[in-house]
Structure 1
């Protein structure tokens, strides 16, 4: 996957702008990015930002986040504060500029809104970390990259090893086709939306 740094910045600023400060910290910001990219990949064969995610103790994280946050603060687009949150130190993100969403498609913004709502409004940092410990996270060793084709395992279904191997082969085919064409076909996101509703209950 090719990492789109500009869209990555846009998603971060948009997330910080849309979320209540008290409900967004470092853990949740990582999870917004992860679920956005993985779900978009499962729907269309391509992620939004193309960031690389790795298995960490508190769920998937991306090594791209900290350097990009430093860039955004240096550009005076974002302030980051350490605040006391019930006896713990928590990162608080204060956007200084309105987010630029011109690089994001309407479908990407709709999905991002849903992911922000699910991660930030319906979960604590602890519950979203636990929720992110699903099959894609479990299938790799600590510190290893979580492959994008594992996004299909986020959906509620019984997935066999053969199906996973098929998904990996299909992912390569989609990637090869995407390299030759900019056209992307959207698929139905109702399954993931039902998964979100189940998680909220």
Structure 2
């Protein structure tokens, strides 16, 4: 499946929108920002047939990051759209200075962005969302290589929990299996 060509303006608007939506929350730094962009783009690619931005994401220590993410953030800062700074611990902090232009995205794209922004901001730390993105699919690429969007379809097979094992035992008995 062919993706849309990279559109730097769409990546800018995606990053600006995410910062406007959840960027000022405590603990929402660069790791969560980039994870929101990654999951929004990759899941849109899989579910809608094309990513939101066409951006390439590189495999990095803390997970996928947009190849031009730092450049885009710098440009948004220069344009007066966002403010970014580091806290005393060296973690990035963001806030939007003006509302984003939502018309850059379809309703379906906004639904994906909103879901991932809220999910990551509300349910994860930077460490826990990094762990979630460091699945088997993340291992497809070597460090600093482009990570394909379809890698989100790959997942590790996990050991069943006790509830799942009890169901399997009960079902095996019902079917007369040893």
Which of the five TM-score ranges fits, normalised by the shorter chain?
Answer: 0.7 to 0.9
Provide the residue aligned with 2:161 in structure 1: none
Asked if 1:68 corresponds to 2:68, the answer is: no
SS in 1 for 2:103: coil
Provide the residue aligned with 1:89 in structure 2: 90
TM-score (normalised: structure 2): 0.80
How far does the alpha carbon of each residue in 1:141-162 deviate from its partner, in whole angstroms, 9 at most, with x for none?
A: 11111112323226x889xxxx
The answer to whether the Cα contact below 8 Å between 2:7 and 2:53 also exists between their aligned partners in 1 is yes
Write the distance in 2 (CA, Å) between the matches of 1:30 and 1:5: 15
Write the distance in 2 (CA, Å) between the matches of 1:39 and 1:157: 20
SS in 1 for 2:154: helix
Q: 1:50 aligns with which of 50, 54, 66?
A: 54
The answer to whether the Cα contact below 8 Å between 2:32 and 2:126 also exists between their aligned partners in 1 is yes
The answer to whether the Cα contact below 8 Å between 2:25 and 2:121 also exists between their aligned partners in 1 is no
Alignment of 1:1-201 (within 5 A): 1=3, 2-19=5-22, 20-84=24-88, 88-153=89-154
Write the distance in 2 (CA, Å) between the matches of 1:100 and 1:23: 25
Q: Which runs of 5+ in 2 are unaligned?
A: 159-178
SS in 1 for 2:6: coil
TM-score (normalised: structure 1): 0.72
Write the distance in 1 (CA, Å) between the matches of 2:17 and 2:157: 32
Runs of 4+ in 1 over 2 A off after TM superposition: 148-154
Name the Cα RMSD after superposition: 1.8
Write the distance in 2 (CA, Å) between the matches of 1:91 and 1:110: 26
Query: How many pairs are equivalent?
Result: 154
